[in-house]
Amino acid sequence: MRRDARLSAALIAEQEGQDRLSAPAEIRILTTPQELFEAAAEEVLRCAKDAVAQNGRFTIALSGGSTPKALFNLLATNARTVMPWDRTYFFWGDERHVPPTDPDSNYRMAEETMLSKIPVPASNVFRVAAENPDAAEVAQAYEQTLRKFFQLKPGELPVFDLILLGMGPDGHTASLFPGTAGLHEKSRLVIANWVEKLKGSRLSFTLPVLNAARCVVFLVSGTDKATVLHTVLEGDAPPEQYPAKLVRPDNGKLIWLIDRAAASGLSKQS
Ligand code: 6PG
């Protein structure tokens, strides 16, 4: 059997194993994008309050792209006075391999829409140093940042209170794209994942980190995601072709917050 066929078989077997072990996903369909982002902000606030009450801090990994912008704006305005910002620690589940000033930077997007508007201490914000031209070094450095912050022993995984994820029209999530080597990474925490179609590397948490989280929330909005969402939530395509299918927290909650436009391809609309 070819190597990639063996890897696919391994991924499918693992996925089937996880399906048996993971709690079922909670799928919430909201009528409008505004309601979607309000529900997401409520979920972030709920996670934050629970985490601070239990552990004295709230660790969150942000997603990138365009969808979270409206959520970040809401957190910086409506939730500004109720979030425990001084106990909130920001990380990124993935980052483009660009400087923080680049228009494509996920850090820059979060800085502009939220971080610059809230009283979070700068020391609580752990940016991916993606300005370094050596992507492997960037990944290694961010992995060390996680190991130090979470005080990890060898082999241990960081357990984030909340990881926000989006999903591309190809079913990628974080920067785990279909058919990329990053899907099979089981020991590293952060990788530089070469994405052939982008002709570049992306920095990304690996699946073990995503699946170690206490709570993972997918935010999916718009008709351009309807087809892929049906495939991911209701289809039986091989998981490595739709990496979002591989996100099944081992012990945590999985919540899909979807607006009606993105849900238009699902068999169930409520
Ligand atoms: C990124 C993201 C990525 C994103 C999806 C959806 O760096 O681009 O982390 O995984 O969530 O591509 O992007 P949109 O929200 O722009 O559709």
CB-neighbour burial class of residue 205 (10 A; exposed 0-12, middle 13-18, buried 19+):
buried
Q: Is the CB of 67 under 6 A from ligand 1?
A: yes
CA pair distance 18, 250, nearest whole angstrom: 7
Residues 27-76: pLDDT tens digits? 999 999 999 999 999 999 999 999 999 999 999 999 999 999 999 999 99
Average pLDDT over the chain, rounded to whole?
94
**Neighbouring residues of 170: CB distance < 8 A, sequence distance ≥ 6:** 177, 178, 228, 242
Q: Does domain 3-265 have CATH number 3.40.190.10?
A: no
Which atom of ligand 1 is nearest to 173's Cα?
10
Q: Taking the complete model, does pTM exceed 0.85, yes or no?
A: yes
* Res. 268 pLDDT band, cuts 50 70 90: confident
Residue 94 has a CB neighbour count (10 Å cut-off) of 26
Give the per-residue pLDDT at 137: 98
- Output the CA 220–ligand 1 centroid distance in Å: 10
For ligand 1, atom 10, name the residue with the nearest CA: 174
Higher pLDDT, 1 or 220: 220
pLDDT in tens, 213-254: 999 999 999 999 999 999 999 999 999 999 999 999 999 999
* The residue to which tokens 């591309």 are assigned: 168
Per-residue pLDDT of 149-170, as tens digits, reads: 999 999 999 999 999 999 999 9
Residue 24: pLDDT band by 50, 70, 90 thresholds? confident
Q: Which residue owns the Cα nearest ligand 1 atom 7?
A: 64
Q: List the chain domain ranges.
A: 3-265
Contact between residue 88 and residue 124 where contact means Cβ atoms under 8 Å apart: yes
Question: What are 219's strand-pairing partners?
Answer: 257
Tens digits of residue pLDDT in 132-142: 999 999 999 99
